[in-house]
Structures are given as structure tokens and as C-alpha cells.
A and B are shown apart, each in its own frame.
Chain A
Amino acid sequence: MPTVDTDTTRKEIREFIVEAFLFGDESEPFEDGDSFMQQGVIDSTGVLELVLFLEENYSIKVDDEEMTPNNLDSLNNLVAFIQKKKQKKQ
């Protein structure tokens, strides 16, 4: 049964966020547990772009009721969310 490699997922999402929202500039780093909204990394449109990235790269469908900060508003939350979605699929 395939499992989710959380370290790889974390790295991939971090790379996407740094590239898409910070123009590749890591001079003001964010921690894995930091809220993207509070840190000013992502706004509400950014959340939609993030969801598109997740759906395209991890073959998941983010349902309306899953569009919550608990699932999407930090690197840790995102990794846990993808893991949960993948487990549900199996």
C-alpha cells in the first residue's frame, strides 16, 4: 500500500509556496507551523492557487467543507491534510 512521504511532500509544498508567492526569495523564512495568512505569505486568492496546486500534484479533490485554515493554513496543516486525504482514498 503506498504511503505518503511526508518529508518529500513538505519539501515540495514549501518549494511551491516560495516560488509562487515569494518569487524564490527565502531571506524571510517561514516556519512549518506558521500561519500563511498571519505571516502575510498568502492571501485568499493565494489559497485558491494553493488548492489548485494540491489537486494537480497529489491527485486529490479538495471539497468545499475542507477549505479551512485547519487543513490549509500552514505547512504542517497541509502535510497532515494530504496524508489524511491519501489514506481515505486507499
Chain B
Amino acid sequence: MNFNKDSLKINADQVVEQLCKEVRRQIGRVLKRSGAVVGISGGIDSSVCVALAAKALGPKRVLGVMMPESDSSPESERLARILSEKFGFETIKEDISAGLAGLDCYEKRDEAIRSVFPNYTNKWKNKITIPTNILEKDTFNFFNLTVENLAGEILTERMPVKAYLQVVAASNLKQRLRMTTLYYQAEKYNYAVVGTGNKDEHMQGFFVKYGDGGADLKPIAHLYKIQVYQLAEALGVPEEIIKRTPTTDTYSFEVTQEEFFFGLDFYTMDMLWHALENEVPAAEAAEVLGLTVDQVEHGYSNIKRKIVATEYLRMAPLEIETTK
């Protein structure tokens, strides 16, 4: 292939038209539902999905659901409202904090954090990050826990496996409760739930199985993040949302998706991944992207490893195969 800086440029208007047609077909003919429910966070992916749904089905057949909890940024709600005004769909707000507290989500998470930082209280901020120097070295992903105490002091430790798994399991309750909330609304109106993950999230496993991964259709799961930005422009998603740095909106200490999961800026990652998928030699990709061959090789390895390591998340429940 001719790999160049614009290899991931799409004809966004044309793609929007194709996606609208497909969303109409999937929701109407295949799923036999009469509208769409989309969880909206004020982030770029959910904004694009809800705008697409509104364009495809008409805004009256789309419901945007805001699902804040104690650690959510108040910005999320404000941006979600701007979005609903712009595209004309109805929104409702379901605060899931009490539900999460009922499941001991916060307490279970804090208990795990205290196994690393014994003085931690829920007044401190916390976040999980991975190394972001993945092009410099072929490294496994490991997870650092960073907390900020009341004096503003920031402490970081690599997480022992048990603490890591418990923090993630507790935090994943948030996405799973959101999925449950969306299905309540979807069933109430006979609508379909639209999953908002893009290709980066879907294939590298940056989603919660049966949480935000639980949906009836995933209209942007085949698109790279940098292509989702192009769709956002074409759909007229407000600039304020497009310019916002993508965060997880899951931890009290704001954490970008780059430091939490991907370890690379989106342009570099998507271009490297595109090159990898098209078997572009490392030397050629390095020249186009202004990287060294070693950096490209490390990027290739990291992406390949993430795809393999997260296959479990994309698997449907396994059944025993029988021969007829």
C-alpha cells in the first residue's frame, strides 16, 4: 500500500451517509427495535454515536442517557446537555452513585487502594496509569496507582496484582451498572442500545465486558479514533467536545486515556496500527511518522500484544462444540 500521513483520512460525509443507512437497517430490520438509547458522557465517541443515531433515525427516536456517579467530572453533564440541544434528542439523567454505593463499589475499591497506601481515605484522589514510553522500549504493560493526599502530595506505586485486580473489578461495576441502566431504558421504549466504542477501544480491549461492551450495535467499532474525529467534524459535533482531551471519567484523579491505557497519542498509535495491519515495513512507517525503526517495532509489538491479551473480552460465552 501507499502509506502516507493521510492514509487514515476518510470521506467523512460519505461515511456518515453509509453509517446512517446501516444503523437504520440494523435497528429496524435486524434488531426490530423502534429507536436507540445512547449513554452520553460528553466525550467524542458517545457524541458521534448519538449524533449518528439522531441523523439516522430522527432525534425523536433517540434517547441520550447521562449516568454520572461520585467520581464523574461535572463537565460531562454540561457537555451532554450542549449536545442534546444541538441535535435535538431527549436526555435523561440517572445518577448511579447510590446504586454503586449499594454494591459497595467505592468501599471495595478503597480497600484495595489501602493495601498499597494504608493511609488512603476517600477524600484523596486516585488513578491508575500505565507507562507512556512504549515506543522507547518493548515493555509489558503494568499498572501504577497514583494518589493525591489532602496536602496535595502525589504518591505513585506499581500495583501488586491482587490490588490491581480488585480496583479494576470495583471500578468496572460503574460500566456494568451503566449498561443495566441503558437496557432498562431500551426495554422500556423498545429501543436498541448503541455501543460507543471505537476500533482502538474495541480491538485493544479498552472496555468492560458486559459493561460498556454490552450493546446491541457498535456503529463505530471499525473506525480508528482519528477517524471518529473526522466524523465528529462532519456531523457538526460542538468544537468544545472535539477539542477535549479523552479521559476515562472513572477515577477521581483525572486520567487521560493515553496514560490509562493506550500509552501513545492517538495519531501515532492509529497510524502505527494501520501500518501494521497493512504489513508496511517498519522502515517505511518510521520515515512517514518521523520515528526510528526501533520505535516502530516497539509500537507494533505493543499493539499486537494488547490485541492478543484482550481476546477474552471480545469472546462470546464459549460453548462446548459437538459434532452432529
Name the contact of B140 in the complex, choosing from A38, A40, A44 (C-beta under 8 A). Answer: A44
Q: A37-B308, A52-B161 are in contact. Are A69 and B137 (CB under 8 A)?
A: no
A45 within 8 A of B: yes
A65 to B131, CA, bound (A): 10
Which of chain B's residues 148-165 have a Cβ closer than 8 Å to chain A? 158, 160-161, 164-165
Contacts of B143 in A (CB 8 A): 48
For A53, the closest partner residue in chain B by CB is B161
Which of chain A's residues 18-39 have a Cβ closer than 8 Å to chain B? 37-38
Q: Are B161 and A49 in contact (CB under 8 A)?
A: yes
B201 → A minimal CB distance (Å)? 16
For B162, the closest partner residue in chain A by CB is A52
A37 to B83, CA, bound (A): 42
For B143, the closest partner residue in chain A by CB is A48
Q: How large is the interface on A (under 10, 10 to 19, 20 to 34, 35 or more residues)?
A: 10 to 19
Q: Are B140 and A69 in contact (CB under 8 A)?
A: yes
A47 to B143, CA, bound (A): 11
A49 to B301, CA, bound (A): 21
A69 to B305, CA, bound (A): 10
Q: Are A44 and B158 in contact (CB under 8 A)?
A: no
A70 within 8 A of B: yes
Q: Are B309 and A43 in contact (CB under 8 A)?
A: yes
B26 within 8 A of A: no
Q: A48-B161, A52-B160, A64-B131 are in contact. Are A37 and B138 (CB under 8 A)?
A: no
Q: A37-B309, A43-B312, A44-B309 are in contact. Are A68 and B161 (CB under 8 A)?
A: no
Q: Are A40 and B308 in contact (CB under 8 A)?
A: yes
A72 within 8 A of B: yes
A40 to B160, CA, bound (A): 22
Q: A43-B309, A45-B165, A48-B164 are in contact. Are A68 and B142 (CB under 8 A)?
A: no
Q: Are A69 and B142 in contact (CB under 8 A)?
A: no
Q: Are A69 and B160 in contact (CB under 8 A)?
A: no
A49 to B161, CA, bound (A): 6
Contacts of B305 in A (CB 8 A): 37, 44
A88 to B60, CA, bound (A): 68
Contacts of A60 in B (CB 8 A): none
Q: Are B160 and A70 in contact (CB under 8 A)?
A: no
A64 to B133, CA, bound (A): 12
For A69, the closest partner residue in chain B by CB is B138
Name the contact of A68 in the complex, choosing from B138, B160, B165 (C-beta under 8 A). Answer: B138
A26 to B143, CA, bound (A): 31
A67 within 8 A of B: yes
Which of chain A's residues 45-73 have a Cβ closer than 8 Å to chain B? 45, 47-49, 51-52, 64-65, 67-70, 72-73
Using a CB–CB cutoff of 8 Å, the interface residues on chain A facing chain B are 37-38, 40, 43-45, 47-49, 51-52, 64-65, 67-70, 72-73
5 nearest A-B residue pairs (beta carbon):
A48-B161, A43-B309, A44-B309, A67-B140, A47-B140
Using a CB–CB cutoff of 8 Å, the interface residues on chain B facing chain A are 131, 137-143, 158, 160-161, 164-165, 301, 305-306, 308-310, 312
